[in-house]
Amino acid sequence: MKPLYNIATKIAEKALPLAGRFNEKLKLFTEGRKSVFSELEEKINPNKEYLWFHAASLGEFEQALPIIEEIKKEFPKCKILVTFFSPSGYENKKNHPLADVITYLPLDTRKNAKRFLELVKPKIAFFIKYEIWPNFMAEIKKQNIKSLLISGAFRENQIYFKPYGGFMRKALQTFDHIFVQNEASIALLKNIGFNNTTLSGDTRFDRVSRQIQYDNKLEFAENFIDKKTCLVAGSTWPEDEEIIVPFINQTSEKLKVIIAPHEIKEEKINALEQKIKKKAIRYSQRESRDLESYDVLILDTIGLLGKIYSYANIAYVGGAAGTTGLHNILEPATFGIPVIIGENYKKFPEAARLRQLAGLYSVANAEEFSSITNKLITDKHFRDKTGMIAGHFINSNTGATRSVMNYLKTLPDFI
């Protein structure tokens, strides 16, 4: 299987630039990688030691961030390199102040892996959740670089546990230590002979729990909400909008709604506006407007959703109405508010757990959404109880970052 993987990677390396002519995301994917090695030669200080964090995209970066923050706090002179696989991660975080160097990860060929590691010479390589690349892992092992997998979450149907998954299993087994989110992951790894594990939980809980400590004040949001009940629909896709917009249009409750679409392209925002019958305004149009006179506020910008959730009485989190993947339910839950999602959440254990605890509700259609939302609006005791469960769920699952830091401090030459 490994030879086939290498052939497929080589083909992708040649084909992606052509595909990029027809797809903006693929164009960013290929164009961004053209300058990786020259950037590393320019930005990496050969006299310094780097800790390398690799994340697939934004979600994985959020899992890495609490560890990076703690390292920078306790060891401020430490140098941090962050690499991304996807354009959405890199484009959004390429100027993040906590990293000394941020770039794309080159495609996983043996040549790229060797050149990358010879340039960076990382002291420790941190991979987040699912990001495991066979050629990079083989070269990391060859160069005796310590490697850790953070917030790992494994399922029985993954390739590592299949008869034909030997080459990926070998890559997985090169890690010095794996920090996992649940007991099931430990059992699966034990079945393939890997025992260097720690049940740490998910660092995202640490990340979102800190949001309460920050200044979340947004004057425009306060003006818009005007002390009324507020529903925040975050990271929505068209499939989510089909569920929530009918309720928005029909409700007679004095309700304020803030919608933060996952994609803020002009055509997407226009399409959403056409569906909404209530008085709506975009964030970009807010200046010199009487915001309290509007019913719906559309966030046609990025970077505000974490703070916006602090104003919500009820949250709907997008992605699970379709097949794009559920977005972060922990962000609203940390503020102690009820969470509603679509029905396709089976690959997201935190959603399943919170649903079992009755801090989250899953809906299959607009009728089910209207039913649970009406109950949450009209029954304050029910709403408060559901939100309290959500908040407690976050607080009782923090500590993954400290677990990783404690391990790092046992290493004789960590810093």
Active site members: 60
For residue 3, which of 169, 167, 248 has the smallest C-alpha distance?
167
**For the chain, how big is the Rg over CA atoms in Å?**
23
Contact 243, 342 (CB under 8 A): yes
Rounded CA-CA distance 123/48 in Å is: 10
